Structure 1
Amino acid sequence: MAEAVNPFSLSGTQHSQHWPSLVSPDWWLNKAFLATTGQPKSAWRWTPGTTMLSTQRGVLTGVVLYLAMVFGGQMVMKNVAKPIRLKRITQLHNLLLTTISGFLLLAFMEQCLPAWRDKGFFFTICGADSWTQPMEVVYYLNYLTKWLEFFDTVLLVLKKKKPEFLHYYHHSLTMVLCFEELLGRVSVAWIICSINLLVHVIMYYYYFMASCGKRMWWKEILTTLQIVQFVVDLGLCYFCLYTHITFHAVVPLPSVGADCRGTRLAAYYGCVLLSSYLLLFVQFFIKTYLKGEKGNHLGFRSIDYDSMKTKKSESPGKLEKPVKAEE
């Protein structure tokens, strides 16, 4: 009779575990696989058409249902007298995504930093062998979190807040981008995902504190960090795409003399989408922090203090009724 496997034993580490047990995300993931499937993490494979949410039809259906929820939900909530404020659920959701994002960020670091140290940075973003099965597990889990983030919009709709274009555009197409990265096995995706996860740790912590009633002073810094994220992402994406194209070009072009792993479809989609993100976030930053225009982009609102002072000076004897802030 085979001996039962103890998923919480400190023994039985895999070759992909580079950090000590208990502080190693890879160790925890392996124990989770053993506990839920009875097999080690190394036995899992991303198989399009078989793995959960691994088909283009499923992804397209998810986007359509998400957008239907955005617009249909707003129509339904117009007939509801009061906003539905799920405060505890909102706090739990934000705290959960903060924790998951931090865990996956460490999981990427555990796999990529040793490769960076041993084979160089160029290998990690372009090398044919840099896409490994342990990395694929983390990529897939990161992809699943993009589905979980759809719940952000559900909470906004229930509160009778109108999600702006940037909000649902970003949420829906980022999920598609993560799917395309998995299909195309884009090596540079690890650093794009890692930077995004770092931003999400900070962003969802901000949302968690805000949902607890805390006033945070650094939301402008958060938006700036998001813009810097896309600048770095685009620099790497265009470099890798250029490297791939020049390596296969018929006409000799300046090149590093090596290829970059990943399909061109995934590379083109990533470059175009991230470029649009950069433009939209810069536009949001200008409207929110520089021009002082009122807006509801991503849940932020700015206040035009100059116009408030002008109105107050025009009617000094009239007391204005305070406006109740939105939750």
Structure 2
Amino acid sequence: MRNRQPLKLNGLFKAHNFMLTGISGALLVLFAEQLLPSLWAGGVYENICGASGWTQPLVVLYYLNYLTKYVELIDTVFLMVKKKPLTFLHCYHHPATALLCYTQLIGSTSVSWVPITLNLTVHVVMYWYYFQSARGIKVSWKEWITRLQIFQFVIDLGFVYFASWDYFTSTYAPYLPHVGTCAGHPAAAIAGVVILSSYLVLFISFYIATYRKRSTRRSAAKIAGQAERKMEKSEVPMMKETAEKATQAVKAANTGMHNISARRPFS
């Protein structure tokens, strides 16, 4: 694209985002259909560490969710043909998520549904925002998408750290405090911890760089504008007073010249 004009492809972009909104929402409903009765019957711990979190219907949904990660790579294609900047976060996040889903699939981790369902929730909101933006509708809550993503990773890591701790302590250090044992492969646990932790750091950094600095600049500009208006307001009376004094001085000078002229004899 270096020597080409940027392509708009707005119709395809709208269709892509609308499709991913629908797919994410449909998968979220299917996950809820499987998980809600299981959570009611077995509780949270059984579903994040036991067999209830790795049933055949859930594995099918895990796999379908994994396939969507390749569809989401088209996001990068749209940015490229539109000649938009490709940030490190974007280029890292998409393939790393596909890798994360793959490692959890082959590692049979029961806790997988927690980050997946939260991610699907975020994607429903995010891709709907992109769809509305492509339609030319101005959305004021863009900043909240990043906040929602950060909140998602905090919850993810709480569950993943707990499940990983339970697995490693029960397997390698049973003398340490733990609840029970968690299903899954150790490589999958490590991959989940590392990738999700990196997401949290990167998204917080992105949020600070994008929104906090922008807010600081706006505050500085607002303060500067207020100071300028105050100076203008204070300068007006001073200028008025100065003008009045100058006018009085001119009048006094004219009066003096008139008196001198009245006393001077004609030549």
TM-score, with length taken from structure 1: 0.66
Report how far residue 305 of structure 1 moved: 7.1
Equivalence for 1:278: 200
Task: State how far apart, in whole Å, the 2-side matches of 1:189 and 1:303 are.
Answer: 40
Task: State how far apart, in whole Å, the 2-side matches of 1:110 and 1:86 are.
Answer: 36
Equivalence for 2:163: 240
Equivalence for 2:211: 289
CA deviation digits over 1:74-94, x for unaligned, max 9?
Answer: xxx1110x2101000000000
Alpha-carbon spacing, 1:307–1:203, altered in 2? closer, same or farther (3 Å)? same
CA deviation digits over 1:269-322, x for unaligned, max 9?
Answer: 1101111100010011111111129xxxxxxxx9757459969x7xxxxxxxxx
Q: Which has the higher contact order (CA 8 A, sep 6+)?
A: 2
Letter in 1 for 2:198: S
Task: State how far apart, in whole Å, the 1-side matches of 2:223 and 2:75 are.
Answer: 35
Confirm or deny: 8 A CA contact 2:53 2:111 kept in the other structure: no
Task: State how far apart, in whole Å, the 2-side matches of 1:121 and 1:158 are.
Answer: 45
Task: State how far apart, in whole Å, the 1-side matches of 2:125 and 2:142 are.
Answer: 10
Task: State how far apart, in whole Å, the 1-side matches of 2:117 and 2:46 are.
Answer: 16
Equivalence for 1:162: 85
Percentage of pairs with the same residue: 47
Instruction: Give the aligned length.
Output: 226
Asked if residue 214 in structure 1 is aligned to residue 129 in structure 2, the reply is no
Confirm or deny: 8 A CA contact 2:53 2:113 kept in the other structure: no
CA deviation digits over 1:15-61, x for unaligned, max 9?
Answer: xxxxxxxxxxxxxxxxxxxxxxxxxxxxxxxxxxxxxxxxxxxxxxx
Equivalence for 1:125: 48
Equivalence for 2:3: 79
Aligned residue among 89, 94, 99 for 2:22: 99
Task: State how far apart, in whole Å, the 2-side matches of 1:110 and 1:194 are.
Answer: 12
Q: Which runs of 4+ in 1 moved over 3 A?
A: 302-311
Alpha-carbon spacing, 1:128–1:78, altered in 2? closer, same or farther (3 Å)? same
Backbone CA RMSD of aligned residues: 1.9
Match runs of 1:1-327 below 5 Å = 77-80=1-4, 82-250=5-173, 252-256=175-179, 258-292=180-214, 306=220
Confirm or deny: 8 A CA contact 1:128 1:260 kept in the other structure: no
The DSSP-based 3-state class of the residue aligned with 1:291 is helix
Confirm or deny: 8 A CA contact 1:170 1:277 kept in the other structure: yes
The DSSP-based 3-state class of the residue aligned with 1:112 is helix
CA deviation digits over 1:219-275, x for unaligned, max 9?
Answer: 11111000000000000000000011111134511111x111111101101101111
As a proportion of its length, which structure holds more helix? 2
Letter in 2 for 1:268: I
Report how far residue 140 of structure 1 moved: 0.5
Report how far residue 132 of structure 1 moved: 1.1
Task: State how far apart, in whole Å, the 2-side matches of 1:273 and 1:174 are.
Answer: 8
The DSSP-based 3-state class of the residue aligned with 2:53 is coil
Letter in 2 for 1:79: N
112-121 or 87-96: bigger deviation = 112-121
Report how far residue 113 of structure 1 moved: 1.0
Task: State how far apart, in whole Å, the 1-side matches of 2:218 and 2:195 are.
Answer: 32
Report how far residue 197 of structure 1 moved: 0.1
CA deviation digits over 1:174-215, x for unaligned, max 9?
Answer: 001111111001100011100000000000000000010111
TM-score, with length taken from structure 2: 0.81
Letter in 1 for 2:205: Q
Report how far residue 130 of structure 1 moved: 3.0
Letter in 2 for 1:283: S
Decide which structure has the larger Cα Rg and report it. 2
Task: State how far apart, in whole Å, the 2-side matches of 1:162 and 1:288 are.
Answer: 14
Alpha-carbon spacing, 1:283–1:117, altered in 2? closer, same or farther (3 Å)? same
Task: State how far apart, in whole Å, the 2-side matches of 1:220 and 1:248 are.
Answer: 42
